[in-house]
Amino acid sequence: MYTLIIANKNYSTWSLRPWLLMTQLEIPFEEALIPFGSPDWHKNPSPTGQVPCLSDRQKDGSVIAVWDSLAITEYVADEYPQVWPQDKKAKAWARCATAEMHSGFHTLRSICTNNIGLRIDISAKTEPALLKDISRIEQLWIEGLDTFGGPFLAGEKFSAVDAFFAPVAFRFQTYGIKLSDKAANYADFLRSQPAMQNWYQASLAETWRDEPHEADARNAGPWIQDLRAI
């Protein structure tokens, strides 16, 4: 049985990716949530001390620890091939887009930090690098939808590439980022998935606050709304 160690759902984009992937595809796992700054953080078996980390207990009692969201995705795909599209072209594209999301879009990550329960005005942020990141994500989404026919990025079925862009869909909602119609419709569609709604509601219900993440949100711009539980 897999155990997925994650952090606060309101903040942790990297936790969301494998959690959403396995939940949406109905791959069995147990969730272990350790809040940022918790004294239980040492229980995370990842050698980097970061989340997510997948713990896979073997029949002999030993445990395989898999850290990093992309590594977890590939590890799970060995047993569950539906993680990736089955069509060769779609699979290749999905892997490339996933890798680009995994390693890129640093300005978006830096300015629009993840805080699902907030609505923040970033209209004053006009950095060309941020606009470039947003434009590239739109381009990728539209390319996938047009090439493979939707409604998911690589075709009819949800796959890892959708999971990796899921935090972006939440970020665009938090910061009110305007998108073209096709990209906006995909973001709405992705956020409407049952597993995404499950994560969203759990994020709003959290009462933990991690000051470094809160400071990032304050630096991003004025808060319009805070939907989180007190």
**pLDDT tens for each residue of 17-71:** 999 999 999 999 999 999 999 999 988 999 999 999 999 999 999 999 999 999 9
> Which residues, other chains included, contact 31 with Cβ-Cβ below 8 Å and sequence gap of 6+?
3, 4, 6, 19
- Give the rounded distance of the alpha carbon of 46 from its chain centre: 19
**pLDDT tens for each residue of 98-124:** 999 999 999 999 999 999 999 999 998
Q: Which residues of 79-106 are buried (b: 16+ CB within 10 A; e: fewer)?
A: eeeebbbeeeebbebbbebbeebeeebe
Taking a C-beta distance cutoff of 8 angstroms, is the pair 181, 171 a contact?
no
